[in-house]
Every structure is written in structure tokens, then in C-alpha cells.
């Protein structure tokens, strides 16, 4: 039998990258124009693979709306192969839910046109998430194609030490942590191995001799794949001629213009017995470790912080509130949320969220973040407006100011709820604004306290009253501007249940309890509660004593600054330079910000002397496109002070210490990290990844040449042994490294001046100059509290929602649990309504690798198991959560 060569025409379409979005966009219009013309003129042209992302269709029709019918015709005829995703994401830097919505919306968009190519398509993704097999299977996809993460080794090569990451063939089985298995296809010679096929005999022979040998080196079957295209590649118009020539030149082969559907059917039918299996996340390609591109996790940290904020706004605030408000309104803003999600996901392609594009690309991203965030806020405010009209406050005295606090996080939350309570309002209709302002300002000062529905005093902090402008936008009449007098109320709450609310009231009169207890001593150098004693040393580092476990940790929260002569993709410390450490930089100052029995907050102020940039050689090496590994540039001799201000917060009954660090960065070409030496000498650590707490080795393999080993995280990273553990939480700080002696290094900021990759693209804004703000935390935990510390890190990313209420009778109880959740290891990622039937949908995953008990109930409903597309699953719902299971539950009203 002849060997078959499947030639698939495609173009890998980075929507934005080394040029501004519109520069790429206009070239996309040209590509699509060419394609539609070619489909008409060349009947032999089988099909074009539209890069697995449906957004390309929107991008084209935005400019050429009149081509819709022609596009539909090409899809109907099987010429244009589309889907299944909305965009080609970076798996690791977007949330679990964002990864799901990319499929949910991608499938929906595809179905508007036709049927999707049933292939998980990750050609260029910078490493692949471990739960891909389970996620693909849950949407009915049995195969995934990827270009990175596995090293192909061919028949004769020895299997490498890191066996997990290598495969003798370009085809393999890919098994997830839950044991789901799919077919994995590695583009072993990249997704361009059949690009620009010559249609002239001499060149064609040279081309095919090489390309066939390359493909056969790794192919496990007689079906060879040739990807005819590459990044932003124009379509090869004479491909039919080139294929006819190949068939004439190589009679032992059959060359066909093909598509993934046909190729996958053929190859999966013929797989050999000895096909290898790769397991879990695929994050290694080169043994030297440079090209995992993991340092994109710290390029332009501001993008990652924005992304976290908008994801939390949509996933954990807008959707849960809209889900609850449906009970009142009977409607759910599906279209508005889809619009917000699509806008957010336009920032999720691998060159976008990774921060490895030119400045103009990332400036446009900020606008998209702001747009998606505003839609999310609008949806949340509308939901709160609807809920607030029907929450009963009749238990509270008439002359008080009731308000509600909602925990919209999928886990119990400890922290402070903040609400601005309006005491008095004067509408502009009543007088001149400035007169109204003064009247409110001059009214006598009163003191206030907070009570719960039982009349118990809550230890809240009530600010001085202030006057400000605000307005109402009624649904049925013109806007109403006014002046209002407000106080800001801060209430400490302990372990408030997931998806629950409680109502309080602000009443006149001083709180009768006097504050006698204090958590702060030694002029602010010591913070202490029942569990911890934190000492802020003169050098600014923390000595933390765990009183219950009787363990002491020194040199916590030391800041480390190093030079970086790399680029947006890759960190490279200049050779022969040493890190600068904050605890070797002189004395620190402290200031007491808050000291109550419930919460203590200290401001720690330090100064580090840091080189202003790299030396002049760096720019010359960049211009000469000297690869970062061979650069000789060092740090500049000139130093400047970097002021580091860190708020340190500790609450009663809690081991979690919160940090908020602010700097005004005026230095270039450097990286700033916070160090946490845990004294844990263990082989592995755990990190929050996509629907998975992934276990990773602390040490790299012997063949690894990169002196650093950066890794991705979402909400936390953890080191533990059988006696204790330490969880470092964060907000939008996606890069960490486990360094010597059990030290967790958290990257706060990485500043570089160029994009990197295939040329010189200056990126001054990637230096991240100006005010920078970082939020992170440290929690020491006992052995049985590991999962609780993970849930604390999740909860910390979701602020309490608050809303002032009228004094009213209402149909909703003043205190309520919307869902009963009792599941220590179930991390909830979504509470939303199904687009198909408006039913409540809850999604989450097992943090644990063991079978775990879980109870999730909504009164008056029964549970159904759904797949990731939120359609009824064929399986029945089990009471036990399986290891690493991703579970979507639909709530069905009892009849
Ligand atoms: Zn790409």
C-alpha cells in the first residue's frame, strides 16, 4: 500500500502580535478574500482549516459584511473548516472558566454556521494544561493537536530522563490526572512542515526528500501529515498544481489535499501497539528549558492583574448575583454576559495575555478589559438592584440604615465587607448644588454603630461622614442628581458561608463596647493573635512564630531584585551579577494603620538601592538581534532608591497574613520578587492550575540548562510535608519559582525592553514604569488544613458585595444561604444559569487526588450531571467526587 500524505492548508492567525491588531486584521481580510476566490476558481482545492478559532469569521465580516453568504457557502461546501474554539488561548494564564467559555462560545458560534472540526487545537500554545483530556472528553472531542510541551525523540533515540514529556512518535495517547484519555497529535516538525510546497520539479524534489524524511522520523503510521501554512501565511494558490507534481515525482506515495476530519479518521484507525502515553500537563519541549516560554507569566504583570479582576467580576460576582436575582426577575442577562465574555476573551490569545506583543497591542487590551469589566459591573448592579428591593429588613428599627452583605465566592470567606451608607440625601431640585453640599456638611456630627438582625453589636469601623455628588438613573424617567452624606462602614466577617447573605443595620449612637484588646505591640514591630506572632525585624524581614505548632520561620518577605537582559518571553539574569536583597539594605520603618481586636494592619516601609537599568550594551545587543543567551550586557553602575511600602494584615483566629505592596518603579531591565523560605525540604510542590491543583517537581532534570525554573499559577502555590505546609496566595501574579532550601519566590514585577523572538521589536511599556501594586498572602497550615488554605486563597480574590436597603417588608429573608455547600475539596468555579433552559448551573473540580465527599444542595431541586457544554450528561451523578473530577451540576426544580 502507498503511504498517504495528507496536506492540510491553514494559516496560524495570531490576531495581534508583533504588529498592532489592525495591521494583522487588514492582512486577514486579504487572506479571506483570497480564499473565497480560490474556492470558486479551483475545484480541486479540498479545504482550508481556519485555525480552530471562530473569531476569524467575525473579524472578516466586520470589514466585509457583504461576504456573509459566500462564507456560508464555503462552510456548507466543506471548503472552510471552522471551530471548535472561539480564540486560541494561552491555557495557563486564563482561568478554568475562561478555558471552558472558549469552548462553550466557540461551539455556539460554530453551530451558527455549521459543524466544528472536532479537534482540540493548540498549535502554538506555550505548554498544555493537564486537564485537557478530561475537558475535551466532556465536550465530545477525542483528539488534541499541539506544537509544544512534548519532545519527539524518534525511533532510535534514547528515551530522555523526563519521560513524561517525550514520545517516540508524533502520535500518542494523552492521559489526564483523572485518567481520561484522548489521542494526542504533536506537530513534531511544527505546524509549518508542509508550508510553501514547490510546484517546480527541481525544488519540489529537494523539498519532499527532506520533508518526507522529517515526517517519517516520528510518524507511527503510513499516514503522514503536512501542514501547509504557518503564522499569518497567505494561502498557497497553486497547491493543486504542487500536489499533482508530487504525485508524479513520488509514485510510492499518494499526496492528497485533505482536512483534519479525514486525517484523524485514518490515523487513529491505524495506530501501532507500542504508541506511547504522555500524562498530565505538557510543559517541556527543549531540554534546556529556555523555550517553555514560562516567563510570559511575568511579562507585563499589569495585564495579568487586570485579567484576574475581570474574570473575578464575571465569574464570581456578576454571574452568581444574576443567578440569584433570577428568582426575583425571572430573567438572566445571557446576551450581555456573552458580550462581556467575548470582549474579555479577545485578550486571551497566547500572544495577547502572555504580554509578548508590541505596546500598541497591549494598550488596546486595557480598553477591552475595561469594557468587559464595566459590563460585568452593570450586570452585578442590576442584579443587586433587583435583590435589594425584596430583601426583608422589617426586623430593624425604622430609624436605622439597613444594608446587606453577600458572599458571592464559592467558598466560605473571612475578611472585611466595605459599604458606603447614605445617611441623608438632598436632590438638586431642592436648591443649588453648592448650598446643598454645605447644608449636609454643616449638619451636626453623629456617631454610629452596626447591629445584626438579633440586635447584637458588630465590631465595625465607621468612618467620618463625607458629602459627595451622586445620581439615580430611574428606569422610567430622567436622571436625578443629588448630594448625599455618607459614611464608610468596614465590617469584619469570619467564615461567611459560600453564596450566602446577611443583613445588618447602621444605627445612631456610639458602640457600647470599648476596644481594649490590641494585636499590635512594640511600636508596631509585633503583630500577634491566638495563632501567630509576627515580628518585623529592623532589616524589614518577618520572623513568624506559629504558636500552636511551635514553629518559627525567619527571613520571610525578603524582596529580591535581579537584572533582566531577556525579553517578554524569557528572563535572563546578566551573567556574573548577584541579586540585591532588601534585608541587606538598611533599616525599615513601620506605621500602625489599624489595631482592633479583630484586625491589625501595619505599614512596612523599606528602600532598596537598585541599578537604573541594564548598561548601554543591552540596547546594542537588542538591535543586533543577539540571542539573549549570548548577551554580555550587565546592570548599569548608577543606582536609584526604590521605595517599597507593604501593608501587612492579620485577623483574629486566622493564620493568613495578607500583603499589599506598592512601589513606584523607575528602573528598567530588572525583576522583583518576594521570597518565602519555608524550611520544607521536599521533592514536590502543588500549584493552582486549570481545574487542577497540579503537583510539580521542585528540581529540574539533569539535562535542563536554564538556571531558572519558572512556573505558572493562579491563586496559590504550596509546599508541605507531613507536619505542616505553607501556602502563598496571590492576585494576578502568575509566576513563581521553587528555589533552594524550600524557598518560594513570587514574581511581583519583570521589566524588559523588547518583545524577543524572531527580530527586534522595542517595547518600552513592558518596562512597567510607574505605580505598581501587588496583593499576595502567606498561610502556614497544619497537615489537615491544606485544602482550607487553598479555599482561603480563592476567597481572597472575591470581595464581598454590599448594598444599602430600604426599611421594607420583603419576600426574601434577611439572612439566606442560596446554596448549601459542604465540600472541603470542591473548588467552585461557576454559578450561572444555563442558556438552554435558565436552570442553575454549578461547576467546580476536586482539588484532591482522592475520592472525596461532597454535598451541594439547593432547596426544592434535584441535581443532574451536565457536561462542559452544559448539556445533560449520560452519566448519573455520584455522591462521591472522583479524583481530579471536573463536575458540572444542573439544578432541576422538583415537580
Ligand atoms: Zn501563535
Expressed in angstroms and rounded, the spacing between residue 12 Cα and the centre of ligand 1 is 6
Q: Are 799 and 321 in contact (CB under 8 A)?
A: no
Residue range 369-428, pLDDT digits in tens: 999 999 999 999 999 999 999 999 999 999 999 999 999 999 999 999 999 999 999 999
The helix (H) or strand (E) run that includes residue 887 is strand 886-893
**Is the per-residue pLDDT at 686 higher than 50?**
yes
Residue range 95-107, pLDDT digits in tens: 999 999 999 999 9
Q: The C-alpha cell of 615 is what? A: 548598561
Higher pLDDT, residue 543 or 510 = 543
**Is the per-residue pLDDT at 160 higher than 70?**
no
Q: Are 49 and 88 in contact (CB under 8 A)?
A: no
Expressed in angstroms and rounded, the spacing between residue 710 Cα and the centre of ligand 1 is 21
Cα(277)–Cα(274) distance, integer angstroms: 9
Q: Is 274 helix (H, G, I), strand (E, B) or coil?
A: coil
Cα(763)–Cα(761) distance, integer angstroms: 6
Expressed in angstroms and rounded, the spacing between residue 351 Cα and the centre of ligand 1 is 6
Between vectors from CA 254 to CA 250 and to CA 256, what angle results, nearest 5°?
Answer: 120
pTM: 0.97
Radius of gyration of the chain (CA): 29
| Residue whose grid cell is 518603579 | 665
Polymer length of the chain: 895
Residue range 513-562, pLDDT digits in tens: 666 678 999 999 999 999 999 999 999 999 999 999 999 999 999 999 99
Expressed in angstroms and rounded, the spacing between residue 14 Cα and the centre of ligand 1 is 5
Cα(97)–Cα(311) distance, integer angstroms: 8
CA 809 to mean position of chain CA atoms: 41
Expressed in angstroms and rounded, the spacing between residue 352 Cα and the centre of ligand 1 is 10
Residue of 124, 178, 351, 564 with catalytic role: 124
Q: What mean pLDDT is predicted for residues 314-329?
A: 97
pLDDT of residue 440: 97
Expressed in angstroms and rounded, the spacing between residue 184 Cα and the centre of ligand 1 is 19
Cα(483)–Cα(436) distance, integer angstroms: 7
**Is the per-residue pLDDT at 1 higher than 90?**
no
Cα(844)–Cα(828) distance, integer angstroms: 4
Q: Which residues pair with 865 in a beta bridge?
A: 889
DSSP 371-389: HHHHHHHHHHHHHHHHHHT
Cα(748)–Cα(301) distance, integer angstroms: 8
Expressed in angstroms and rounded, the spacing between residue 56 Cα and the centre of ligand 1 is 14
Q: Is 256 helix (H, G, I), strand (E, B) or coil?
A: strand
| Residue whose grid cell is 447573605 | 501
Expressed in angstroms and rounded, the spacing between residue 698 Cα and the centre of ligand 1 is 29
Q: What mean pLDDT is predicted for residues 552-573?
A: 98
**Is the per-residue pLDDT at 350 higher than 80?**
yes
Expressed in angstroms and rounded, the spacing between residue 144 Cα and the centre of ligand 1 is 16
Cα(425)–Cα(468) distance, integer angstroms: 10
Expressed in angstroms and rounded, the spacing between residue 89 Cα and the centre of ligand 1 is 9
Confidence of residue 157 (pLDDT cuts 50, 70, 90): very low
Q: What is the mean pLDDT of the chain?
A: 95
Expressed in angstroms and rounded, the spacing between residue 132 Cα and the centre of ligand 1 is 19
Expressed in angstroms and rounded, the spacing between residue 123 Cα and the centre of ligand 1 is 7
- To the query of whether residue 517 is one of the catalytic residues in this protein, the response is no
Confidence of residue 177 (pLDDT cuts 50, 70, 90): very high
**Is the per-residue pLDDT at 189 higher than 60?**
yes
Strands (E), 166-210: 166-167, 171-175, 181-186
Expressed in angstroms and rounded, the spacing between residue 817 Cα and the centre of ligand 1 is 45
pLDDT of residue 164: 61
Residue range 810-859, pLDDT digits in tens: 999 999 999 998 889 999 999 999 999 999 999 999 999 999 999 999 98
Confidence of residue 874 (pLDDT cuts 50, 70, 90): confident
Residue range 31-75, pLDDT digits in tens: 999 999 999 999 999 999 999 999 999 999 999 999 999 999 999
Expressed in angstroms and rounded, the spacing between residue 93 Cα and the centre of ligand 1 is 15
pLDDT of residue 700: 86
Q: Which residues pair with 89 in a beta bridge?
A: 349
Helix 68-76 / helix 21-41 crossing angle, nearest 10 deg = 60
| Local structure of residue 449 (DSSP, 8 states) | E
**Is the per-residue pLDDT at 792 higher than 80?**
yes
Residue range 470-507, pLDDT digits in tens: 999 999 999 999 999 999 999 999 999 999 999 999 99
Expressed in angstroms and rounded, the spacing between residue 122 Cα and the centre of ligand 1 is 9
**Exposed, middle or buried: residue 857 (CB in 10 Å: 0-12, 13-18, 19+)?**
middle
Expressed in angstroms and rounded, the spacing between residue 633 Cα and the centre of ligand 1 is 29
Expressed in angstroms and rounded, the spacing between residue 495 Cα and the centre of ligand 1 is 43
Expressed in angstroms and rounded, the spacing between residue 412 Cα and the centre of ligand 1 is 39
| Residue whose grid cell is 504588529 | 19
Expressed in angstroms and rounded, the spacing between residue 293 Cα and the centre of ligand 1 is 12
Expressed in angstroms and rounded, the spacing between residue 267 Cα and the centre of ligand 1 is 25
| Residue whose grid cell is 425571572 | 330
Amino acid at each position: 500500500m502507498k503511504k498517504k500524505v495528507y496536506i492540510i492548508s491553514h494559516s496560524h492567525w495570531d490576531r495581534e502580535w508583533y504588529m498592532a491588531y489592525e495591521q494583522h486584521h487588514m492582512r486577514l481580510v486579504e487572506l479571506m478574500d483570497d480564499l473565497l476566490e480560490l474556492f470558486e476558481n479551483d475545484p480541486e482545492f479540498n479545504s482550508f482549516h481556519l485555525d480552530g478559532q471562530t473569531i476569524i469569521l467575525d473579524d472578516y465580516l466586520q470589514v466585509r459584511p457583504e461576504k456573509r453568504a459566500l462564507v456560508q457557502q464555503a462552510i456548507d461546501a466543506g471548503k472552510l473548516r471552522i471551530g471548535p474554539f472561539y480564540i486560541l488561548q494561552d491555557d495557563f494564564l486564563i482561568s478554568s472558566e475562561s478555558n471552558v467559555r472558549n469552548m462553550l462560545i466557540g461551539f455556539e458560534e460554530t453551530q451558527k454556521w455549521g459543524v466544528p472540526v472536532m479537534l482540540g487545537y493548540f498549535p502554538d500554545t506555550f505548554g498544555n494544561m493537564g486537564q485537557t483530556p478530561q475537558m475535551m472528553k466532556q465536550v465530545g472531542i477525542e483528539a488534541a493537536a499541539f506544537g509544544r510541551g512534548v519532545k519527539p525523540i524518534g525511533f532510535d533515540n534514547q528515551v530522555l530522563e523526563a519521560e513524561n514529556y517525550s514520545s517516540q512518535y508524533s502520535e500518542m495517547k494523552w492521559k489526564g490526572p483523572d485518567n481520561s484519555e484522548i489521542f494526542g497529535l504533536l506537530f513534531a516538525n511544527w505546524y509549518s512542515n508542509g508550508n510553501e510546497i514547490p510546484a517546480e520539479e527541481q525544488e519540489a524534489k529537494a523539498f519532499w526528500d527532506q520533508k518526507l524524511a522529517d515526517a517519517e522520523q516520528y510518524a507511527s503510521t503510513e499516514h503522514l501529515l503536512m501542514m501547509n501554512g504557518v503564522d499569518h501565511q497567505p494561502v498557497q494558490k497553486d497547491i493543486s498544481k504542487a500536489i499533482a507534481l508530487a504525485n508524479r515525482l513520488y509514485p510510492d506515495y499518494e499526496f492528497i489535499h485533505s482536512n483534519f476530519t479525514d486525517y484523524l479518521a485514518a490515523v487513529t484507525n491505524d495506530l501501532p501497539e507500542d504508541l506511547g502515553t504522555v500524562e498530565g500537563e505538557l510543559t517541556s519541549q527543549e531540554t534546556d528549558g529556555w523555550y517553555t516560554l514560562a516567563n510570559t507569566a511575568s511579562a507585563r504583570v499589569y495585564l495579568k492583574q487586570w485579567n484576574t479582576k475581570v474574570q473575578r467580576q464575571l465569574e464570581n460576582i456578576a454571574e452568581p448575583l444574576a443567578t440569584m436575582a433570577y428568582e426575583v426577575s425571572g430573567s438572566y442577562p445571557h446576551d450581555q454576559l456573552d458580550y462581556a465574555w467575548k470582549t474579555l476573551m479577545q485578550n486571551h490569545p497566547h500572544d495577547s495575555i502572555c504580554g509578548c506583543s508590541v505596546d500598541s497591542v497591549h494598550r488596546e487590551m486595557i480598553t477591552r478589559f475595561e469594557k468587559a469589566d464595566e459590563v460585568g459591573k452593570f450586570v452585578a448592579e442590576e442584579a443587586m438592584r433587583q435583590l435589594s428591593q425584596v430583601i426583608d429588613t422589617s426586623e430593624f428599627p425604622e430609624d436605622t440604615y439597613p444594608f446587606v452583605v453577600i458572599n458571592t465566592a464559592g467558598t466560605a470567606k473571612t475578611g472585611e465587607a466595605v459599604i458606603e451608607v447614605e445617611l441623608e440625601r438632598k436632590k438638586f431640585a431642592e436648591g443649588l448644588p453648592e448650598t446643598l453640599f454645605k447644608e449636609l456638611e454643616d449638619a451636626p456630627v453623629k456617631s454610629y454603630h452596626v447591629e445584626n438582625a438579633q440586635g447584637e453589636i458588630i465590631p465595625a469601623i465607621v468612618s467620618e461622614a463625607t458629602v459627595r455628588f451622586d445620581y439615580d438613573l430611574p428606569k422610567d424617567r430622567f436622571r436625578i442628581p443629588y448630594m448625599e452624606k455618607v459614611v464608610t462602614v468596614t465590617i469584619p466577617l469570619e467564615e461567611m458561608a459560600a453564596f450566602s447573605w446577611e443583613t445588618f443595620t447602621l444605627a445612631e449612637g456610639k458602640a457600647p463596647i470599648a476596644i481594649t484588646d490590641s494585636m499590635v505591640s512594640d511600636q508596631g514591630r509585633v503583630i500577634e493573635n491566638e495563632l501567630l506572632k509576627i515580628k518585623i525585624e529592623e532589616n524589614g524581614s518577618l520572623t513568624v512564630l506559629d504558636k500552636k505548632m511551635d514553629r518559627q520561620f525567619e527571613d520571610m518577605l525578603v524582596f529580591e531584585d535581579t537584572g533582566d537582559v531577556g525579553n517578554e518571553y524569557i528572563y535572563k539574569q546578566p551573567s556574573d551579577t548577584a541579586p540585591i536583597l532588601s534585608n541587606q539594605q538598611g533599616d525599615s520603618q513601620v506605621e500602625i494603620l489599624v489595631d482592633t481586636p479583630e484586625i491589625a494592619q501595619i505599614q512596612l516601609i523599606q528602600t532598596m538601592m537598585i541599578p537604573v537599568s541594564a548598561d548601554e550594551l543591552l540596547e546594542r545587543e537588542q538591535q543586533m538581534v543577539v540571542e539573549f543567551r549570548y548577551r554580555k550586557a550587565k546592570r548599569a553602575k548608577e543606582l536609584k532608591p526604590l521605595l517599597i511600602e507593604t501593608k501587612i494584615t492579620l485577623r483574629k483566629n486566622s493564620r493568613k497574613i495578607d500583603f499589599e505592596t506598592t512601589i513606584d518603579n523607575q528602573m528598567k531591565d530588572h525583576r522583583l520578587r518576594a521570597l518565602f523560605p519555608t524550611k520544607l525540604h521536599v521533592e514536590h510542590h502543588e500549584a493552582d492550575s486549570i481545574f487542577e491543583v497540579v503537583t510539580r517537581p521542585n528540581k529540574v532534570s539533569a539535562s535542563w540548562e536554564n538556571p531558572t525554573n519558572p512556573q505558572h499559577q493562579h491563586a496559590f502555590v504550596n509546599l508541605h510535608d507531613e507536619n505542616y505546609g505553607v501556602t502563598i496566595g496571590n492576585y494576578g501574579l502568575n509566576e513563581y519559582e521553587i528555589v533552594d532550601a524550600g524557598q518560594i519566590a513570587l514574581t511581583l514585577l519583570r521589566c524588559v525592553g523588547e518583545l524577543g523572538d524572531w527580530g527586534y521589536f522595542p517595547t518600552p511599556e513592558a518596562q512597567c514604569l510607574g505605580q505598581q501594586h501587588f496583593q499576595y498572602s502567606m498561610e502556614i497550615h497544619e497537615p489537615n488544613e491544606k485544602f482550607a488554605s487553598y479555599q482561603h486563597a480563592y476567597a481572597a480574590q472575591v470581595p464581598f458585595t454590599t448594598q444599602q436597603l430600604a426599611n421594607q417588608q420583603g419576600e426574601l429573608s434577611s439572612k439566606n444561604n442560596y446554596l448549601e455547600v459542604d465540600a472541603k475539596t470542591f473548588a467552585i468555579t461557576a454559578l450561572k444559569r444555563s442558556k438552554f433552559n435558565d436552570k442553575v448551573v454549578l461547576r467546580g473540580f476536586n482539588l484532591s487526588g482522592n475520592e472525596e465527599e461532597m454535598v451541594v444542595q439547593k432547596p426544592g431541586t434535584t441535581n443532574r450531571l451536565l457536561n462542559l457544554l452544559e448539556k445533560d450528561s449520560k452519566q448519573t451523578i455520584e455522591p462521591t467526587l472522583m479524583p481530579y473530577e471536573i463536575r458540572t451540576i444542573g439544578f432541576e426544580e422538583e415537580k
